[in-house]
Amino acid sequence: MKVEIDPYTGFCFGVRNALHVAEEELKKSDSLFCLGEIVHNEKEVERLHEKGLEVIDHQTFRQLKNTKVLIRTHGEPPETYRIAFENNIQLIDATCPVVLKLQKRIRESFSKIAEKEGQLVIYGKKGHAEVEGLKGQIPSNAIVIGNDLKDLEKIDFTKPIMLFCQTTQDVKGFQELVNEIHHRINQKGCGGKHNFTAHDTICRQVSNREPRLKKFAGKKDVVVFVSGKNSSNGRYLFQVCKQVNPRSYFVTHADEVDASWFNAGNHVGICGATSTPGWLMESVAKKIQGFTN
């Protein structure tokens, strides 16, 4: 049985950078607070917790004083920085550069759309840390649209619309949303005079993984996808594997791998989400290779 790990899988640049920053800081001290899980992978969070990284929520953050707190890749709204200043908290900012750029674009675009009494819309997962950080960049509420078409009822299609996108959303879903907004604008009879601007702000380092993953999974007898259960990126990419290879299985760690999934002579592919550490995929590969003995 041949076992191969996808060379294009695992951490994206933003996650790799945040983990590097955290580990470098932990070398200097025995502990460090992190505002939210540094990565959507339970095993990696456990590993860093053993090194002294303590995950906290926003309520706990507001009560801290005179300490250090890591800002993860997803970014934070200005309110977080204000609280840190008031409580003498040193922020170690590991926000992904792609997210920082998007936050700036939203701030700059809001004044333009506000002048036209328009609406700023974000295509993303409700409650996601990145989306909350994006919403916090502007003084009034942005409209968040997920994959449920009922969300579109929040939009007034007779007024100007400026659309942005969470960096980790899929390109296909974004384009379908753009087409649907155009359709509803035309239904209102506003197509000729309406102002609708769609900004594709999806990170291509993430979105380009889909076609590569399809090619990788399609050439394997069995695919084992390794990801944290709370990773939306992981759930999406697993479905990409499942579509091209029905013998695809989702695991969070090596102990979940089942020997009955494999036959002698199978070519097995291992891949993961942008939040899946390489060491975790290697442990899964080792478990599978052990079945041949």
Length of the chain equals 293
**Amino acid identity at 173:** G
List residues bridging with 222 in a β-sheet: 268
Q: d(Cα 166, Cα 189) in Å, to the nearest integer?
A: 29
The catalytically annotated residue of 25, 44, 76, 130 is 130
Does residue 76 have an active-site annotation? Answer: no
What number of H helices and E strands is found in the chain? 11, 12
128 neighbors 166 (Cβ within 8 angstroms) = yes
Tell which residue, 229, 232, 230, 214, has the closest CA to residue 271. Answer: 214
CA angle 90, 96, 99 (to 5 degrees): 110
Secondary structure class of 145 (helix, strand, coil): strand
- Residue whose structure tokens are 């291992």: 270
Q: List the one residue out of 4, 2, 3, 19 whose CA is nearest residue 276.
A: 19
Closest listed residue to residue 40, CA positions, set 14, 4, 60: 14
Residues catalogued as catalytic: 130
